[in-house]
Structure 1
């Protein structure tokens, strides 16, 4: 990557956060923010193939999810690297897509990695083809302590990001029936069920919360 400038598309809902992140990234002379976009619709409309090297996208957008945006744009441009930016730990997505996405995905938690310089370095590394997992992430521990298999955890990681069964199947190279079977096993393992609440919602909330803290003593 020596001698070239990495072109970045930044997709973040909130205008002030978007401006601050763009300013922080552009303090690194290796980076140029060529798009500052507010959501899914703008990203899919304006990011053309081979015009961007790294997509930096917030995991939750007002009009969709960052995972969906990243997958859709990588379908158009397999050379595009994706860095998922979240307020917590969405590193399970990186594990779920490992070996499936055309380029490695990266994840940085804004809470665990607030330094703009660290984010800029992560973007450069993503452009170089590395899968970056930010400090404080749990990507090294499949299952996140929920008692799930790696395959079940991969499916749940994408479901927790708001993807449909069909989108999960496409992202992971599975059949829709396999996704349904994995989710049925997840619901049983987590005890997610009941007459009033969707087991899908309960399982996604459990994934996002992670394992319950151990009692002291």
Structure 2
């Protein structure tokens, strides 16, 4: 006998991938996908408070980021659980959010967890209040291209690379905006993220996402 059914809003850019993920999730009788959405704006318009238990959201969306969307929806509904889905290991992003959101977030890498059944189990566990994390670095760890940063610097970079403003990152981490600016200044110097045509913020975000430090442009 099936108990409580976990209500899911699935937000994934690519239509075929979205359909396949929804089908895999609903193969588990404990999961019902109420929304199959293609982006941030659509989710903000259609996901009402108290109507969904878990937001399963892709890390990178065409019109924003999954982190920013999850935070916005949790502000509306503190009982909403969030599972961040990505094609890489983004557990450091979720760890940066730990203790700063109404409910703990989970993260699943499609590369490390290709089985739809495993994803459904992660969704159910997330709805039950567990923080599910795939294999990856511990708190404060950074991709190879940004090694050598402190835990605080790595957390700031992880959030900024997701598109959060300095003020939003400061709020999540319990820091002042000035502290975030200071951490970013150190990050930019450590990465050599400087150039006449591209902002150091963009270069640092690319270094975070690719794991390769940018080459300073002269």
TM > 0.5 fold call? yes
TM-score (norm 2): 0.91
Partner of 1:195, secondary structure, is coil
Q: What is the CA-CA distance between 1:57 and the residue it aligns to?
A: 0.3
Q: What is the CA-CA distance between 1:90 and the residue it aligns to?
A: 1.5
Q: Distance in 1 between matches of 2:197 and 2:35?
A: 43
Matched, 1:151 2:165: no
Matched, 1:71 2:71: yes
Q: What is the CA-CA distance between 1:185 and the residue it aligns to?
A: 1.2
Q: Per-residue displacement from partner, 1:113-168 (whole Å, max 9, x unpaired)?
A: 11101111111111111111124x32456234511111111110011112221221
Matched, 1:162 2:157: no
- Does the CA contact (< 8 Å) of 1:94 and 1:139 recur in 2? no
| Structure 1 segments (4+ residues) deviating >4 Å | none
- Does the CA contact (< 8 Å) of 1:71 and 1:171 recur in 2? no
Q: What is the CA-CA distance between 1:99 and the residue it aligns to?
A: 0.8
Matching residue of 2:141: 142
Q: Which residues of structure 2 form unaligned runs of 5+?
A: 214-218
Matched, 1:205 2:192: no
Matched, 1:130 2:130: yes
Matching residue of 1:40: 40
Q: Per-residue displacement from partner, 1:48-106 (whole Å, max 9, x unpaired)?
A: 11111110001111111111100000001111110011111221111110111111111
Give the CA RMSD over aligned residues. 1.6
TM-score (norm 1): 0.91
1:1-40 superposed matches below 5 A: 3-40=3-40
Q: Distance in 2 between matches of 1:141 and 1:65?
A: 21
Number of equivalences: 210
Q: Which residues of structure 1 form unaligned runs of 5+?
A: 213-217
Matching residue of 1:215: none
